[in-house]
Every structure is written in structure tokens, then in C-alpha cells.
Amino acid sequence: MSSSTRGAPSLAYRPARVTSSTAFLGPAGDGGLALYRAVAEQIPRGAVFVVDRELRYILAAGPALRMSGFEPSDFEGRSLREALPPELLAQYTQDYAGILGGAPMEREHCVGGVWYASHGVPLADEHGCIHAALVVSYDITERKRNERRLQILDKLWAVVRHASDAADVAAAASSLLEEYFGGVRCTMLRLDGELDEAEVEEIPLAAFGERALDRLQRGETVESGDGPLPYGLPPWLRAFLLCPHISGGRLTGVTAILSETPQAWREEDTRLACDITERAWTQIDRLRLLEALEAADRRKDQFLAVLAHDLRSPLTVVRNSLALLERPGTNVNPQAILALVERQFGHINRLIEDVLDTSYICHGRAHLHRHRIVLQEAVLAAVEAARALVSSKTHSLSLSMPPEPIPVYADPTRLAQAFGNVFANAIKYSRVPARIGVEVEKQDAQVLVRIRDNGIGMSPRTLARLFDLFARKGTELDALPAGGLGVGLWITRQLVEAHGGSIRAASDGPDRGSTFTIALPVHQVH
């Protein structure tokens, strides 16, 4: 048994009896040794050793020796001290001494990254006199690796089963991969934005190379090979393994294993990393979906509460106004009451239309009646509809449009509705007096409609969720309440995108105004 031996499945051995001690004394009587040598050659990835009472190897044979770069002559005729490295001598001396003392030996041990199962028995003659120790070793590295992989997967499952937060799953998976590979950094990177902007351990994902990004997007694992690493990677990085996660047909996550020392990524190690990656990302996706459903449920409850409040307020005004008309002797102007009631019912109608539009869009039943129109006409229709509200708040509204008609292929009613929603948003969140500017600009094959205000502005957090469904824009300043159902800008985005366009919002921060930009394709006449 030596640093060069390999191990194997556990077998039981009984002390062997030999007819003559001369079987262990040299070439003149090596019939027994020849038998052990022949048996050794039949043990895949195994080896057989015989050591005499002087702790000297008298036989070393088997495929494991050659696989490790050794020959029987490297052991036979040599003492343990001569054949073994110092770090193994004490343990092996103890093992062989115990066998020669009559005690069988079974042990699993790791030498140089290779695991062995070794079984030793004493060899005795017909008188019971022990002449030598026989050790058979088998390579059990693959079995130990499989056991370790199962242990890691069991640990991951224990975390997954009890985790209620996606971050806990990611941290557990990263920790287990670091434990398995040793001396590596592991990061699970969620890709919610542009792939070129993503970073892992402050390394841009693009630094791994365009080919690597293409392979990740196809769902292929990317690993460092024997050649030089891409030029853009930091000097400390000597090896990497990137495991992709594909969800909904696109790359949504990458597990990056980064090493400061060279690594030879074995196929089974890569499979394990991909297995852990997929299990972890699947659970993370599930937890994120649950969080999204819970958040949507909360937003729905908030939406219904706001809707009930916003419907009750105008109805209360109508009821009180009608009560004034019925009260005898009240000096009220019936026409003023009727105008007030009409405005309140108009507000109720707008709320109901928002709810219906939301329902139609969510269920795919919103249809556009598109044809060639002049964009300026849709903008003017929205501006005229907003002028009464602008005047009532003593706001000023400026309009700048090019004189030449700009053709677009659109539903004029829906397009005017989209513009009107943005105008109403600018008016709602502006202080008195405020300035609102509308600018139309043609840029090549698209037209931009910008709506600027000098109102309360928005924080980055508000901008990030501005176009989400049921996301009511809370003010950054206490002077103005939020209000609204939180569906107007979401409807606007759906309508604009249905026209093949886009909408974005920008602000320099609270109390510094906002700018909304709607981009639409210009209708080309072929």
C-alpha cells in the first residue's frame, strides 16, 4: 500500500494460510506471490501489495501502479521507509504492523486527491505463523465524488425546502459550490437588464468575450480551457466556469465560478455545477413568482380600495348637491348645481373607462382601429381636452410642432388618449402656477412627442416602477397627495407599444420636474 495505489469497493478477506514460508523468501519459492500478482492484474484500477515482517515490499502489482506512473520495481525489495513519502510513512507503518500482528485492516483514505479503499489480512502458514501482510487497494474516487455530490444536493434541497427568500437560495447554492470546488468565488447573477451592462465580482460579463455571451444565450456552459484567458479579464482570475439559466426562452441568470488558481474542469464537476445552478434558479424563479403574485394581490387590494374611494367622493358630492336642490328656501343656482353634478359624473365615467381599458388590455380584447392620420391632429385633440384642467389650475401650456404634417399609422382616439394621460399626469403633479411644454420633433423614421413640466419630479425609485400596473405615483413632497388608480400610465405604455412605439420618463430628482418622451414610427408610403 503506497501513495501510488488506488482503492475500490469494500470486500472482506480472511487470513490466508500458506504451506511454506519459502513462498515469501525470494525467486526460489515465489509460487504464492505469482498467484497474487496474477490476481492483481485482474483488478480494474486496483493493486495488491505484500509486505514481509521486516516491513519490506516483496510484491507490488496491479493496473493502479501503471496508471500512477510506477512499476513494481519501485516497491519490491524496498522497505516502507525507502518506498513511501514521509507524510504517509507513519500511517502505513501502523497499518502493516497491525496486520502483521494478526488484526485485519479496512480503511478509506485519500492520497493526492485520489480515494482508496484498502483491505489488509495477515498471511500465515499451516502452523498459524504470520509471515507477511497482504493489502488489496481499490480506486473509489468516483464513488466518493458521487457521495459528495449527493451530500451537496441534499444540503441544497434542505435549504430550498425551507427557504422563503430568493437571496437565501442563491447564497446557499453559492456556498455549496465554493465548498465543493474549494478556493473559488461563486456568484449567482440575475439578469434583469442589458447583458452588456451586467457584472459579476465587478467583472463585466462582456469581458468574457462575445463568443462566451453568445454561448450563454444559447444555454451552453462556458469554461476556461488550456489556452490564455480573454484579454479583458483581471490578472487574478486564472480559471472560470459560467453556467447559464434559461427561462422563458431567454438568458435570465448566470452562475459564475471564478478561481484564482488554474482549474481543470472535469465533466462530472461541470455537470454538478449545472445541476446545482438549475435547481437553485428554478427555486429562485418560483419564489420570485410567489413574491410577484403576492405583490400583485396587494396592489389589487389597494386598487380596489382607491377605486371605491374615488367613486365615493364624486357620488357624495352629487348626493349633497341634489339634497341642496330639494331643500326649500335654499338660495342655490340650479345651473351651477347641474354643472357640478355633470363634472362629477364625468370623473366617474373616466374612472370606469380606466378600469374597462385595463381589463380589456389584460385580457387581450383591446382592439385598435388604425389608419393613416396626421400626428399633430392627435396631439391637438389631447391638448384641447386638457386645456380646461390647465386653466382651472392657472397652469400655462405651450405647444411646439413642425408645420409639415407628420403621418403615422394609428388609432386617433387611442393615441389622443395616450397623450391625454401624460398631460393629465403632468398637470396633476405640478404646483400652482406651473409650466407644461409639449414639443413634437421628427427624427428620421420616428417622431418624438415630449411633455415637460416643472412639477414635483421623481426619484429613481419612482421612475423604476412608474409604468407598472397599479403603481400609484406617491409624491416625494408631502404637499401634494398621490391620487389616481395607478393605471393611467400603464394604459399609456400599452397603447403606445401597440402602435409600435415606446415611452420613457426622466427626472433630475424630486422638485425638479419631469419629462415624458413618446416615440412613434413615421408612416412610410411605399
**Predicted pLDDT at 106:** 93
Burial classification of residue 522, based on how many CB atoms lie within 10 Å of its CB (0-12 exposed, 13-18 middle, 19 or more buried): middle
Fold of the CATH domain 371-521: Heat Shock Protein 90 (3.30.565)
Distance between CA atoms of 122 and 125, rounded to whole angstroms? 10
**Predicted pLDDT at 103:** 94
Fold of the CATH domain 16-139: Beta-Lactamase (3.30.450)
Distance between CA atoms of 168 and 304, rounded to whole angstroms? 33
Long-range Cβ pairs for the range 295-298 (8 Å, 24+): 296/469, 296/470
Mean pLDDT, each 10-residue run in order, the chain (526 residues) = 37 38 41 82 90 94 86 92 91 94 91 84 89 91 80 75 79 84 87 78 88 90 82 89 88 90 85 85 84 77 66 75 73 76 72 70 69 91 73 73 92 84 82 82 92 86 78 43 64 86 90 90 78
Give me the DSSP letters along 335-370: HHHHHHHHHHHHHHHHHHHHHHHHHHHHTT------
Distance between CA atoms of 131 and 140, rounded to whole angstroms? 29
Distance between CA atoms of 475 and 154, rounded to whole angstroms? 48
**Predicted pLDDT at 24:** 44
**Predicted pLDDT at 89:** 92
Cα pseudo-dihedral 85, 91, 97, 98, rounded to 10: -150
- DSSP at 437: E
Write out the H or E segment, with its range, that includes residue 22. Answer: none
- DSSP at 200: E
**Predicted pLDDT at 28:** 33
**Predicted pLDDT at 390:** 63
CATH superfamily of 145-291: GAF domain (3.30.450.40)
Paired with 436 in beta bridges are 397, 453
pLDDT tens digits for range 97-108: 999 999 999 998
What are the helix (H) ranges across 163-245?
166-181, 210-217
Distance between CA atoms of 511 and 88, rounded to whole angstroms? 74
